[in-house]
Amino acid sequence: MTDLELAKQTLATDSLAFAITKHGVVLRAGTREGIGELLDAVDALGNVAHDAALADKIVGKAVAMVARRAHIRAVYSPLMSQAACDALARDHIAVEYDRLVPLILNKRNDGPCPMERLTLPLDDPREAVVALRDFVRARA
């Protein structure tokens, strides 16, 4: 089983928000909605996340930028935005998804998710992660 297959299986079996796997081991898994727990997991893993696989319930450009910054090598999501797919392609990160949508929408479905809106104009993963951390801190 590949790391991405393990991440996908873990995400589905345990009803998680995300799972990060490497060398056949689940390194981190999250249960909370939003990007804060993923940011914390990637920070805690540091270089260990390099070449890992990520399965996330919803992958918009924000999650894609975190994956790029962490040097993840493969990403799966049941729901992925085109912006995320394009961002991941920039670093040749393998992508799998069940459904591709133009944008990840907010909870009211009347506009982009706030994190998608925040990261859409950004191309630098470092800059995006700083902006996301600031966003999460401001809402805490």
Helix axes 61-70, 82-90, angle to 10 degrees: 20
Domain count, the chain: 1
According to the model, what pLDDT value does residue 29 have?
96
According to the model, what pLDDT value does residue 28 have?
97
According to the model, what pLDDT value does residue 49 have?
96
Beta carbons of 20 and 27 less than 8 angstroms apart: yes
Record the pTM. Answer: 0.96
pLDDT lower than 70: segments of the chain: none
According to the model, what pLDDT value does residue 46 have?
95
According to the model, what pLDDT value does residue 14 have?
76
According to the model, what pLDDT value does residue 33 have?
85
Cα(59)–Cα(68) distance, integer angstroms:
12
DSSP state of 100: E
For every residue of 9-45, DSSP letters joined together read: HHHHHTT-SEEEEETTEEEEEE-SSSSHHHHHHHHHH
CATH number of the domain that residue 101 is part of: 3.40.140.30
According to the model, what pLDDT value does residue 140 have?
74
According to the model, what pLDDT value does residue 115 have?
93
Residue-range definition of the domain harbouring residue 32:
3-139
